[in-house]
Amino acid sequence: MNLPPNRTIHITRAFSKDLKKLPKVIQRQCWEIANILAKDVFDPTLDIRKLHGYENVWRTKVKRSYRLIYTFDDNSLYLLRIAHRKDIYKKPFDDIDI
């Protein structure tokens, strides 16, 4: 059985800034989840939800209280934002350059 190749992970400037502000344990977990998503953007072991009002933007949980916002195409995974669940939905996703 041939599995599709992993998607290439791309990060936005906003994601990079968000990640630097987080505790190291959250940063490590974020990268572990990103690697899982690169293999399967709908991995059943992750709590993945589509964001309402966006055509192809999804979120998954990182350590219960953090949310990772991402989008993807056939070859790439784009990490858009990461923040605490109380703050993440206050941050815009529309103005992020991919």
pLDDT tens, residue order, the chain (98 aa): 556 679 999 999 999 999 999 999 999 999 999 999 999 999 999 999 999 988 899 999 999 899 999 999 999 999 999 999 999 988 766 666 66
- Assess if residue 95 is contained within a domain: no
pLDDT of residue 89: 84
- Number of domains forming the structure of the chain: 1
pLDDT of residue 9: 96
pTM given for the model: 0.89
pLDDT of residue 76: 95
- Assess if residue 98 is contained within a domain: no
- Assess if residue 63 is contained within a domain: yes
Q: Domain span at residue 58?
A: 9-88
- Cα–Cα distance for residue pair 72/24, rounded to 1 Å: 25
- Assess if residue 43 is contained within a domain: yes
Domain of 75: which CATH number?
Answer: 3.30.2310.20
Percent composition of the chain: helix, strand, coil (DSSP 3-state, to 5): 30, 30, 45
- Assess if residue 57 is contained within a domain: yes
- Assess if residue 83 is contained within a domain: yes
